[in-house]
A and B are shown apart, each in its own frame.
Chain A
Amino acid sequence: AQTVTQSQPEMSVQEAETVTLSCTYDTSESDYYLFWYKQPPSRQMILVIRQEAYKQQNATENRFSVNFQKAAKSFSLKISDSQLGDAAMYFCAYRNPAGGTSYGKLTFGQGTILTVHP
């Protein structure tokens, strides 16, 4: 079974600085998808960024980028120029493609609480 591990329960960063959130996963599959979701306090969980395992290039979305190391099964999220609105719980998630006996279950890590200091 796939597992996702976020080893940092809490992280903090100064406004305008850069922070990296760690995520590792375990799988025997070669084709899969990885996601980072953000859940602000008492607000909706939203997608931050996604990565297809077959793509070697790291995904980037504005101030958010990932460092995808397939061999190491590592998928870290870098937030540049941190803003107060970035404060939230961040979840790393893994998904197999659907097909055969797999329905493409999304497996989440435990989450990392990010605090942004002004």
Chain B
Amino acid sequence: ETGVTQTPRHLVMGMTNKKSLKCEQHLGHNAMYWYKQSAKKPLELMFVYSLEERVENNSVPSRFSPECPNSSHLFLHLHTLQPEDSALYLCASSQVLGGRQPQHFGDGTRLSIL
């Protein structure tokens, strides 16, 4: 397997549920990212990790909790979400922070909150 893999592809959950999104990269990259993509809005950066340390928490509500156990894996733990949290959640990785190397994206998890 190569690239950035996200699971699940689709997730439907109630507002009181707890679930987790998983991202795995097989590129040997050191930086990983979570983005939220809503209709008619630019991608919103949520979290940035570099070498398993959180670099940025972009004013994200505490109902989203990231975890980066190693440089290949990134999780987004979800609890008590709101309907406005329904969106496509994209994971990305890059060789290092910044630089000319692009970010590589996963297919995303389509999240629907009932």
Interface size class of A (residues with CB under 8 A): 20 to 34
CB-CB contacts below 8 Å: A96-114 with B: 96-99, 102-111
B102 an interface residue at 8 Å Cβ cutoff? yes
Answer yes or no: B48 CB below 8 A from chain A CBs: yes
Is B90 at the interface (CB under 8 A from chain A)?
yes
Q: In this assembly, does A45 line the interface, its C-beta being within 8 Å of a C-beta of chain B?
A: yes
Identify which of residues 7-65 in chain A touch chain B, using a CB-to-CB cut-off of 8 Å. Answer: 9, 33, 35, 37, 43-47, 50, 52
Contact present for B56 and A110 (CB under 8 Å)? no
Size bracket of the B interface: 20 to 34
Instruction: Give CA–CA (A80, B114) in the complex, Å.
Output: 43
- CB distance B98 to A95 under 8 Å? yes
Interface: B60 (CB within 8 A): no
Within the complex, the shortest CB–CB distance from A7 to chain B, in Å, comes to 13
Given known A-B contacts A33-B100, A104-B99, A45 and B48 have beta carbons under 8 A apart: no
Whether B41 and A110, one on each chain, are in contact in the complex, defined by CB atoms closer than 8 angstroms, is: yes
Q: How far is the CA of A97 from the CA of B56 in the complex (A)?
A: 15
Check A43–B42 contact: CB distance below 8 A.
no
Q: List 26 A-B contacts (CB under 8 A).
A: A33-B99, A37-B102, A37-B105, A44-B3, A45-B105, A47-B102, A50-B100, A50-B102, A95-B98, A96-B98, A97-B99, A98-B98, A98-B99, A99-B98, A103-B48, A103-B50, A103-B55, A103-B56, A103-B97, A104-B99, A105-B45, A105-B48, A105-B56, A107-B42, A108-B42, A110-B41
